Chains A and B, each alone.
Chain A
């Protein structure tokens, strides 16, 4: 790809030259050329898996390129670790903030580099003053003695930026900085970014939010499947151009399974609201959708769009705070706990199988049967025979590669563990399956298995709602696509009508921006 036009006012401070990154089984970056301009916001966009985070990790020193080199001020440099990168003036603010909520702002800013007075004692006064100065340069006159845990997310982000600036960062990487911010906080962040620009800092801005980055960006680079598909000055492009580069002009043929007829409506979600904890606003706002038997509906959206929270509302995880109506075959489920929802015919496959899906101290068989024990028991007695029969049935039907179901669950690969979570849900004989990122973190082969299972289940009459952040997946699997943005319903598309561009655009809508 041709590099950006050189601009005298924005000299190139860092360059990636022919950088490739190979991970076992996949090429995350392929021969990437990237110019980072000082005193400017360099935006990096791409779909999930495009290689943004790999590129960012290479610049930050977290990973090293398999091929190619990095040039800093025109000279080749080895960024072997984050410390080395920091020493070169490269700072990074991760999406998940790395702050200590139980310590003060000043303590957080100087963690690991405390200002010590005589001997070992921390010089609190100097730290306080330095912290205060630093915050003032970022136009945030916060009291450095405040506990970080008491700050709002937007303020915490500023503290992270201040931390990087305290180490004289000339290059600042911001990873999805606005995903957790409210509209006014975004404005404050943009003001800080403009100040940093004016001081010559080169900013790498990674985001999904197209309308935002058009506003704040000076240069834009688009990644797809590990390659740079577009690089330009922001002033010369518009949102459709960005989407085209992200998504590709070729119309892909998503092989769909043979169509089957849908049945009656099985799940009706109406005007569901979930308020935020301890803050104004809603995490899910006025969500309504319908699902028929045999239908697969994919829910697409950015992080923070409220998709997992919607599933939690439907599944009874928030019986006291979710409002609205959730009807399964006419039975009202809102306000009822999880056990009632499972009894009614709902089943959930959670997003994070490690923390929410599996009980690691139990065997494969015990995990599989966990949600169905009362069903398998006669009165109160659980016969090992009934468990074995049920386990074998699902191990076979889901092709779970387990030599012995009495083995610990930890002995299975990620893909097979996911199948166990699915098997557990299916054993409850559900009518509606809620799948949250069903293919996350599993290899290609297991992914294909999971997709086949989903199609077979739909053909057998189950209604399936699934959440995904993978555009190809939602296009390939769904009979209907629902796009969520900021907790609300942004758009709905029938399978034949949806285009990738329309879906991506919809997922970015509803961002309340002050003109």
Chain B
């Protein structure tokens, strides 16, 4: 468990109470999940039914994908505000290709669904690469660079359909564009494809961070960029990677949503980035960089998802939901800082004792 949460431990100090407290703090995301699930099991009717669990998982999955991509961006010391817009734009591109194909001069090219999915994913990666370029070559601060991309991508999405929706994305047999809705609605062995995808992407991302040099380098860049550079880490390449990965995750979400709705709307994804950041932060990702685990983020996404859905099931006004969500996020950061300070203090004590 500690390998999933964090490999660097503070020393077991002479005060067993302190290390018990520290353990509690490091498991806080699990604890939060447990508390929130128990709370709603009592307060909301039908909370723990199988159908409800499935519905909640599908909601959570969308945020979790974005949060997974966001985690490594934040760990590397940056931030990606453009993911919501990438969700919208990739959905529109997929929808547009299904409905209208790609006009090339006198001809119109129609791609099949697999190719369309590939193009949308590539688009997400491409926008991520643009973010990476702005940040590494032009030295634009990540906040500003991705804020700019947020607006540009949203604008392009709106322009692509002049603001209207691309409806009826079933496709037509004569153009070979059928099959798109399967992505969002298909079940494999009783479990939605979307959940399988989440498991795949989540496990892959977690493996990357725990067991590959690339993943370790991401943590190094976020922890101390200069020390990483002097250790031979190719800092710019790492930054490109995290933004491209984030763009890829956003493209996945864009495809899933438009597949589930069988329609693509240019405003899809507005403010998704904030939920993604919230999930990552709740899961223990530090905004200063260098700390954060995929496992924690996924749990964080579940906590937010359960919180939102549970409050809806209780009939709590959506305005109160917003307040509660904000308080939870602030509490998560305060607790995280408290934990960091405790760990530092224990490390200092160790040093003094040594």
Task: For the complex formed, measure the closest distance between the CB of A188 and the CB atoms of chain B, giving whole angstroms.
Answer: 35
Task: For the complex formed, measure the closest distance between the CB of A415 and the CB atoms of chain B, giving whole angstroms.
Answer: 10
Indicate if the CB atoms of B11 and A373 lie closer than 8 Å. no
Q: Which of A338, A341, A343, A360 contacts B224, CB < 8 Å?
A: A360
Indicate if the CB atoms of B8 and A407 lie closer than 8 Å. yes
Q: Which of B7, B233, B346, B351 contacts A363, CB < 8 Å?
A: B7
B232 partner residues in chain A, CB cutoff 8 A:
338-339, 341-343, 371, 428
Indicate if the CB atoms of A404 and B234 lie closer than 8 Å. no
Indicate if the CB atoms of A382 and B227 lie closer than 8 Å. no
A406 partner residues in chain B, CB cutoff 8 A:
7-9
B144 within 8 A of A: no
B351 partner residues in chain A, CB cutoff 8 A:
410-413
Which of B213, B217, B233, B347 counts the most chain A CB atoms within 10 A?
A: B213
Indicate if the CB atoms of B230 and A338 lie closer than 8 Å. yes
Task: For the complex formed, measure the closest distance between the CB of B9 and the CB atoms of chain A, giving whole angstroms.
Answer: 5
B222 partner residues in chain A, CB cutoff 8 A:
361
A337 to B9, CA, bound (A): 33
A416 to B226, CA, bound (A): 20
A7 within 8 A of B: no
Task: For the complex formed, measure the closest distance between the CB of B309 and the CB atoms of chain A, giving whole angstroms.
Answer: 34
B88 within 8 A of A: no
Indicate if the CB atoms of A339 and B234 lie closer than 8 Å. yes
Indicate if the CB atoms of A361 and B9 lie closer than 8 Å. no
Task: For the complex formed, measure the closest distance between the CB of B18 and the CB atoms of chain A, giving whole angstroms.
Answer: 14
Q: B237 — nearest CB in chain A belongs to which residue?
A: A339
Indicate if the CB atoms of B354 and A401 lie closer than 8 Å. yes
B192 within 8 A of A: no
A401 partner residues in chain B, CB cutoff 8 A:
354
What 0/1 pattern do residues 376 to 391 of A give for CB contact below 8 A with B? 1100111100000000
B265 within 8 A of A: no
B354 partner residues in chain A, CB cutoff 8 A:
401, 411-413, 416
Residues A370 and B211 in contact in the complex (CB < 8 Å), given A359-B223, A382-B216: no
- B interface size (C-beta, 8 A): 37
A343 partner residues in chain B, CB cutoff 8 A:
232
Q: B222 — nearest CB in chain A belongs to which residue?
A: A361
B234 partner residues in chain A, CB cutoff 8 A:
337, 339
A107 to B351, CA, bound (A): 42
Indicate if the CB atoms of A380 and B229 lie closer than 8 Å. no
A362 partner residues in chain B, CB cutoff 8 A:
8, 219-220, 223, 290
Q: B292 — nearest CB in chain A belongs to which residue?
A: A361
Q: A349 — nearest CB in chain B belongs to which residue?
A: B230
Indicate if the CB atoms of B224 and A358 lie closer than 8 Å. yes
Indicate if the CB atoms of A411 and B347 lie closer than 8 Å. yes
A380 partner residues in chain B, CB cutoff 8 A:
212-214
- A interface size (C-beta, 8 A): 44
A366 within 8 A of B: yes
B43 within 8 A of A: no
A350 within 8 A of B: yes
B230 partner residues in chain A, CB cutoff 8 A:
315, 317, 338, 348, 350, 356-357
Indicate if the CB atoms of B216 and A366 lie closer than 8 Å. yes
B291 within 8 A of A: yes
Indicate if the CB atoms of B10 and A407 lie closer than 8 Å. yes
Q: A358 — nearest CB in chain B belongs to which residue?
A: B227
A307 within 8 A of B: no
B228 within 8 A of A: yes
A403 to B347, CA, bound (A): 12
A361 partner residues in chain B, CB cutoff 8 A:
8, 219, 222-224, 286, 289-291
B343 within 8 A of A: yes
A431 to B186, CA, bound (A): 58
Indicate if the CB atoms of A359 and B227 lie closer than 8 Å. yes
Task: For the complex formed, measure the closest distance between the CB of A228 and the CB atoms of chain B, giving whole angstroms.
Answer: 35
A408 to B346, CA, bound (A): 10
Give residues 58-77 of B contacting A (CB, 8 Å). Answer: none
Q: B348 — nearest CB in chain A belongs to which residue?
A: A410
Task: For the complex formed, measure the closest distance between the CB of B277 and the CB atoms of chain A, giving whole angstroms.
Answer: 19
Q: Which of B228, B348, B350 contacts A407, CB < 8 Å?
A: B350
A106 to B163, CA, bound (A): 55
A355 to B228, CA, bound (A): 11
A-B contacts, 6 of them at CB < 8 A, read: A348-B230, A357-B230, A361-B223, A366-B219, A411-B11, A428-B232
Top 10 A-B pairs ranked by shortest CB distance?
Answer: A373-B213, A361-B290, A363-B8, A359-B223, A410-B347, A411-B350, A342-B232, A371-B231, A361-B223, A411-B347
- 15 other A-B residue contacts (CB within 8 Å) besides A373-B217, A413-B351: A338-B230, A341-B232, A350-B227, A355-B224, A359-B219, A359-B228, A370-B216, A370-B231, A373-B216, A380-B214, A382-B216, A383-B211, A406-B7, A408-B9, A411-B10
